[in-house]
Chains A and B, each alone.
Chain A
Amino acid sequence: MSSEKNKSNQVSRRGLLGTALAAGGAITLPRAAAAGPGNPANQPPNVPEWSRMLGDGVAVRAYGKPSRYEAGVIRRDVEWLTASRESSVSFTPLHELDGIITPNGLCFERHHGGIAEVDPDDWRLILHGLVDKPLVFTLDDIKRLPRTNRVYFAECAANSGMEWRGAQLNGCQFTHGMIHNVMYTGVPLKILLEEAGLKPNAKWLLIEGGDAAVMTRSLPLAKALDDCLIAYRMNGEMLRPENGYPVRIVVPGWEANMWVKWLRRIEVGDQPWHHREETSKYTDLLENGRARRFTYVMDAKSVITSPSPQAPLKQGKGFTVLSGIAWSGRGKIARVDVSLDGGRNWRTARLDGPVFDKSMARFYAEFDWDGREMFVQSRAMDETGYVQPTKDELRKVRGLNSIYHNNGIQTWRVLPSGEVENVEVA
């Protein structure tokens, strides 16, 4: 290749870059649509343009982002769900992900007063109440304490809550996407409590955030001493602002409302506080008008992420992979069964990759599709012997108005066309 040709390639590449930049944010189509028929000029036997000219050099993308062809892989919200965007939720695109780790930029959001933008130099954590010595920590203090790394799921108590009365939203992003699973780095809360010294009558902790909602939850001391983390990193990097930068509490296996973000204060007391998020909200109304409170644990649950309404079977009949996630707040996932016929018959799926305590597990069930209509379901079991119930089994105990903790089995109807829809079957 002559140097002249090289030069011309660079020039034309510059021109192409300009075009790409101009088109920049406009590409928001999902991958399926963007891929389309493609460009034959880039397919064999032709040599594609990216094989002929140089690409970006190092550090052009100083903080890397996904390929622009993945621009449809984003958090989405459902505007009619809430009265304001600051007290609302966005959903993780589970149908576009695999493995068990959620990329930080895709972790669902749930704020009650918008995203607090906290300057880490001004961040403080006050620990007081029934302690020998009330303490105040800076972020540097927290980072000097012994730390631990754990992979846990954080699932909103309201995940699947819109589905109590029937199939409502068409896609696992919307029906199951109020969950993320990342590796947290943090200090065991137990270490901070021992640093302050607990009084003998200490029984409960008030965990308080520093955002405009000043979110509070009462946490039983036993859980605090067991496995709670004061976390400042997710998947290696510092927490994202929308996930509580610089510090949040991690409450493994328990409803994510308790995972208070932008943590500012921990008060030790001898009884729960019965605050708004554990009385008006995050209490589960039953059919008889009475309500469960302190329903902390997220029970075993699973969902098939592909095929699903946003991830249709495009290739027609033949061999394919059914993929999904399972998790339990009570421990490790022990087994996942899948059904292709609406729960008439089940086979045990293959768990693949690490299976951690109170973490997502990935399952696969490969099969040969004959092109006929299917009703696909998954059923998780955890190490305590808990088996994920059907929605009807849950409704028999709880009625239709408990809003939270819907871990019922999800059914996707796969049509002969490969399209998929959210249905309920009897």
Chain B
Amino acid sequence: MSRSREFAAALALLALAGIGVANAESAPKPGAKPAAVAAAAAPAKAAPVHYGVGREARPEEIAGWDIDIRPDGQGLPKGRGTARAGEEIFVAKCAACHGEFGESTGRWPVLAGGAGSLAGHDPVKTIGSYWPYASTVIDYIRRAMPFGDAQSLTNDELYAVTAYLLLLNDVITDQDFVLSEETFPKVRLPNEANFFDDDREVSEKAFWKRQPCMSACAPGEPKIIGRARAIDVTPEEGKGPRVE
């Protein structure tokens, strides 16, 4: 029995004993069963205690913060946009970091390309090559982009920029295709089927071995096959951030 359950049970007993409890919901109701019967029944399944802490959230409060979007389209805002309109917005607000075609500048994230690279030596993980759901694109832009000016795009701008990114990734081919809350859930990204839930307990079950080797576990002397010093990319001691 968890602590909260114990506390809940204690509160219930206090209430039955007629001792005042601030929370009306845990107090006995008029005409309730005799105390002995209720107490005997209580341990079977204690009802969750209510502390009466917090207040009901108003719909407009929730609406102001509830911006998440799911793959099935739940949460999509009302709006519409085309890749043609999105290109202009992208060039103005996104291309400085991500490049005009999503190829990125400097070390900022690459947003397009990389098809067929995932099983290679240097996978390029982009919206088109890697991401499973288009909803993630519009959700993430809505909550966090542009970097440093988050939550500044209108709903129509969101759809337009997303449409442009889908066009750059060959997910849609018509730059006048209208992306909206109606058409969005039909969009599918190519890599969706290549994700699977954590399977370590099966695929790595060999790591559960209660008697690991303790002596003469490998032949010969250890041979060095890699050295961090040879790469030499570690920050120097004393070069850390200034501490005031």
Residues of A within 8 A of B (CB): 24-25, 28-30, 33, 71-72, 74-80, 82-84, 86-87, 90, 112-113, 124, 126-128, 133-138, 141, 144-146, 148, 166-171, 174, 188, 190-192, 194-195, 197, 206, 208, 212-214, 216, 264-265, 267, 269, 271, 273-276, 279-280, 283, 285, 287-297, 299, 309-310, 337, 341-347, 375, 379, 381, 384-389, 393, 397, 400-401, 411, 413, 421-426
Partner of A343, one of B196, B222, B229, B242: B222
Give the contacts of B138-154 with A (CB-CB under 8 A).
139-140, 143-144, 147-148, 150-151
Q: Say yes or no: A167 contacts B65, CB within 8 Å.
A: no
- Residues of chain A within 8 A (CB-CB) of B106 are 83
Which of under 10, 10 to 19, 20 to 34, or 35 or more describes the interface residues of B?
A: 35 or more
| Residue of B2, B133, B144, B228 ringed by the most chain A CB atoms within 10 A | B228
A-B contact pairs, 12 of them (CB 8 A): A83-B107, A113-B150, A124-B61, A128-B57, A168-B228, A188-B3, A197-B48, A293-B196, A296-B198, A342-B221, A385-B209, A425-B222
**Nearest CB in chain A: distance from B104 CB, A:** 9
Q: Say yes or no: A385 contacts B208, CB within 8 Å.
A: yes
- Residues of chain B within 8 A (CB-CB) of A134 are 56-57, 62
Q: Say yes or no: A212 contacts B148, CB within 8 Å.
A: yes
Q: Say yes or no: B56 contacts A28, CB within 8 Å.
A: no
- Residues of chain B within 8 A (CB-CB) of A28 are 238, 240, 242-243
Q: Say yes or no: A401 contacts B123, CB within 8 Å.
A: yes
- Residues of chain B within 8 A (CB-CB) of A112 are 144
Nearest A residue (CB) for B231: A168
**Nearest CB in chain B: distance from A144 CB, A:** 5
Q: Say yes or no: A292 contacts B241, CB within 8 Å.
A: no
Q: How far is B53's CA from A388's CA once the two chains are assembled, in angstroms?
A: 44
- Residues of chain B within 8 A (CB-CB) of A296 are 198
Q: Say yes or no: B144 contacts A168, CB within 8 Å.
A: no
Q: Say yes or no: B67 contacts A285, CB within 8 Å.
A: no
Q: Say yes or no: B222 contacts A375, CB within 8 Å.
A: yes
B30 at the binding interface (Cβ < 8 Å)? no
Q: Say yes or no: B231 contacts A76, CB within 8 Å.
A: no
A-B pairs, 3 with minimum CB distance: A342-B222, A289-B119, A194-B48
Q: How far is B226's CA from A240's CA once the two chains are assembled, in angstroms?
A: 38
Q: A146-B4, A397-B204 are in contact. Are A274 and B227 (CB under 8 A)?
A: no
Q: Say yes or no: B147 contacts A135, CB within 8 Å.
A: no
B125 at the binding interface (Cβ < 8 Å)? yes
**Nearest CB in chain B: distance from A337 CB, A:** 7
Give the contacts of B206-242 with A (CB-CB under 8 A).
206-210, 212-218, 221-229, 231, 233-235, 237-238, 240-242
- Residues of chain B within 8 A (CB-CB) of A87 are 147
Q: Say yes or no: B225 contacts A141, CB within 8 Å.
A: no
- Residues of chain B within 8 A (CB-CB) of A400 are 121
Q: Say yes or no: A271 contacts B72, CB within 8 Å.
A: yes
**Nearest CB in chain A: distance from B116 CB, A:** 9
B38 at the binding interface (Cβ < 8 Å)? no
Q: Say yes or no: B200 contacts A295, CB within 8 Å.
A: yes
Partner of B143, one of A216, A269, A287, A387: A216
B88 at the binding interface (Cβ < 8 Å)? no
Q: How far is B50's CA from A260's CA once the two chains are assembled, in angstroms?
A: 26
Q: A212-B150, A274-B135 are in contact. Are A421 and B72 (CB under 8 A)?
A: no
- Residues of chain A within 8 A (CB-CB) of B121 are 400
Nearest A residue (CB) for B97: A83
Q: How far is B70's CA from A135's CA once the two chains are assembled, in angstroms?
A: 22
- Residues of chain A within 8 A (CB-CB) of B140 are 275-276, 280
Partner of A293, one of B48, B195, B233: B195
Q: Say yes or no: B240 contacts A83, CB within 8 Å.
A: no
Q: How far is B68's CA from A343's CA once the two chains are assembled, in angstroms?
A: 49
**Nearest CB in chain B: distance from A8 CB, A:** 32
Q: How far is B66's CA from A342's CA once the two chains are assembled, in angstroms?
A: 53
Q: A148-B3, A195-B53, A344-B217 are in contact. Are A76 and B118 (CB under 8 A)?
A: no
